């Protein structure tokens, strides 16, 4: 058994979902692999930490409301046109057309013509909606510096292409793409700017854009400018947990630092980073951030586990130092 498969089975075993015959095989691997054994201990500590909190009872109407929203979304989907149905039939029967080359060629030609017609109708509809002709070039909309930024609907935004902040100013320039790139500018307090920054923090195609957006959001949180639990703070916790860039996770952690004492969700996100993050610098920074709330039972438990069993000697040493100063912190 390799370590990758062992990590998957460790999770299943922790929750009693692993068959007995695989449990014995996993135990043999753990007896010979120190890294995987430490992985199991860390997972068990995290599970113990999670069990320390009461389970929130969900609203009985949540499922009903979700189903209603799903049905409404399905009803809002427009019916397929004739050329779309024809194209789907061509794709579904492509395998059988290999036995009839002439028919296949004819149907492909018809499908290509239908696709061209459909593309023209789609372009015409888009042009009619935006108020320009099909042959006219799309316009790039830029807000004037003296005007407030236009409201951007998330459903119309494809991605964020760049973010720039004016030196020594609260003005931020955000370029985002719909069908064509667009640009707005406004203060960091502007709801549209904040909405775009939070959207940019989830931009999977550009690590630079995510770095810029998370950096600005973290700066707003450190300055105490409207960093509520729902919104910017949630975006930073999401970046800390799942972003692949170490720099982005580092900035998210710095932005969450002022709220680790008052927000239990932030504290749990930082504890999770301490237990599972792949970068030692972020884990060390997480310990430093947790030090003021070390008297918390869950924080003390995680620090004790890390101090005794973490594979990184530096992390173990820092955790022990924090634990040794516990009486002074209390």
pLDDT score at 147: 44
Q: Which two tokens stand for residue 307?
A: 């101090």
Neighbours of 91 (CB within 10 A): 10
pLDDT score at 119: 61
Is residue 293 included in any domain, yes or no? Answer: yes
**Phi, psi at residue 276, to the nearest 5°?**
-125, -15
Alpha carbons 20 and 7: distance in angstroms, whole number: 17
Is residue 232 included in any domain, yes or no? Answer: yes
pLDDT score at 43: 83
Q: 173 with 197: CB under 8 angstroms?
A: no
* pLDDT tens across the length of the chain (330 residues): 788 888 888 888 888 888 878 888 888 888 888 888 888 888 887 877 777 666 666 665 666 667 777 777 777 777 666 666 666 666 665 545 444 454 555 555 656 665 565 665 555 555 554 444 434 334 333 443 444 445 555 556 767 888 888 888 889 888 887 756 677 888 777 777 877 877 777 765 677 888 888 888 888 888 777 677 567 888 888 888 888 888 889 988 988 888 888 888 888 899 889 888 989 999 999 988 888 887 788 888 888 888 888 889 998 898 888 888 765 444
Alpha carbons 181 and 178: distance in angstroms, whole number: 6
Q: Are residues 233 and 88 in the same domain?
A: no
H/E element, 171: strand 171-177
Q: Are residues 186 and 284 in the same domain?
A: yes
Q: Which of 281, 209, 269, 276 is nearest to 233 (CA)?
A: 269
| Alpha carbon distances (Å) from 147 to 71, 74, 142, 144 | 40, 38, 10, 5
Q: Are residues 122 and 255 in the same domain?
A: no
Is residue 93 included in any domain, yes or no? Answer: yes
Q: Are residues 198 and 84 in the same domain?
A: no
pLDDT score at 143: 40
Q: Are residues 39 and 88 in the same domain?
A: no
CATH number at residue 219: 1.25.10
Q: Are residues 111 and 240 in the same domain?
A: no
Domain that holds residue 290: 154-329
Q: Are residues 72 and 183 in the same domain?
A: no
∠ Cα 229 234 239 (to 5°): 150
Is residue 111 included in any domain, yes or no? Answer: yes
Alpha carbons 19 and 48: distance in angstroms, whole number: 22
Number of domains, the chain: 3
Q: Are residues 185 and 323 in the same domain?
A: yes
Q: Are residues 175 and 273 in the same domain?
A: yes
Is residue 104 included in any domain, yes or no? Answer: yes
Is residue 282 included in any domain, yes or no? Answer: yes
Q: What is residue 174's three-state secondary structure?
A: strand
pLDDT score at 330: 43
The CA dihedral of 90, 126, 140, 200, to the nearest 10 degrees, is -60
Q: Are residues 32 and 89 in the same domain?
A: no
Report the DSSP pairing between strands 171-177 and 159-165: antiparallel
pLDDT score at 120: 58
Is residue 59 included in any domain, yes or no? Answer: no
pLDDT score at 101: 54
Q: Are residues 72 and 43 in the same domain?
A: no
Q: Are residues 101 and 17 in the same domain?
A: no
The interaxial angle of helices 280-290 and 297-309, nearest 10 deg, is 140
Tokens 């389970």 — which residue? 55
């Amino acid at each position: 058994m390799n370590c990758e498969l062992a990590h998957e089975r460790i999770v299943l075993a922790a929750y009693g979902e692993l068959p007995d015959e695989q449990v014995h095989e996993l135990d043999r691997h753990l007896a010979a692999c120190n890294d995987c054994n430490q992985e199991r201990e860390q997972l068990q500590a995290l599970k113990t930490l999670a069990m320390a909190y009461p389970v929130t009872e969900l609203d009985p109407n949540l499922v009903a409301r979700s189903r209603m929203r799903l049905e409404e979304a399905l009803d809002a989907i427009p019916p397929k046109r004739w050329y779309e149905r024809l194209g789907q039939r061509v794709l579904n029967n492509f395998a059988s057309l290999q036995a009839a080359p002439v028919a296949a060629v004819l149907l492909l030609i018809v499908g290509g013509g239908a696709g061209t017609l459909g593309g023209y109708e789609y372009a015409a509809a888009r042009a009619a909606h935006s108020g320009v002709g099909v042959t006219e070039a799309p316009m790039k909309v830029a807000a004037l510096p003296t005007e407030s930024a236009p409201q951007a609907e998330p459903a119309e935004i494809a991605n964020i292409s760049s973010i720039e902040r004016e030196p020594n100013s609260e003005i931020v320039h955000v370029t985002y793409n719909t069908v064509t790139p667009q640009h707005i500018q406004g203060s960091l307090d502007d709801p549209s700017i904040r909405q775009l920054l939070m959207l940019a923090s989830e931009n999977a195609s550009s690590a630079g854009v995510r770095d810029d957006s998370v950096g600005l959001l973290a700066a707003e949180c450190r300055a105490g400018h409207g960093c509520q639990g729902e919104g910017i703070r949630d975006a930073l916790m999401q970046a800390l947990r799942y972003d692949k860039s170490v720099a982005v996770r580092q900035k998210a952690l710095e932005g969450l630092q002022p709220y680790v004492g008052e927000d239990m969700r932030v504290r749990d996100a930082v504890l999770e980073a301490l237990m599972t993050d792949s970068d030692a610098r972020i884990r060390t920074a997480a310990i430093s951030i947790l030090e003021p709330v070390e008297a918390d039972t869950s924080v003390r438990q995680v620090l004790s586990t890390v101090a005794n069993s973490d594979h990184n000697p530096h992390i173990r040493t820092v955790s022990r130092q924090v634990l040794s100063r516990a009486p002074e912190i209390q």
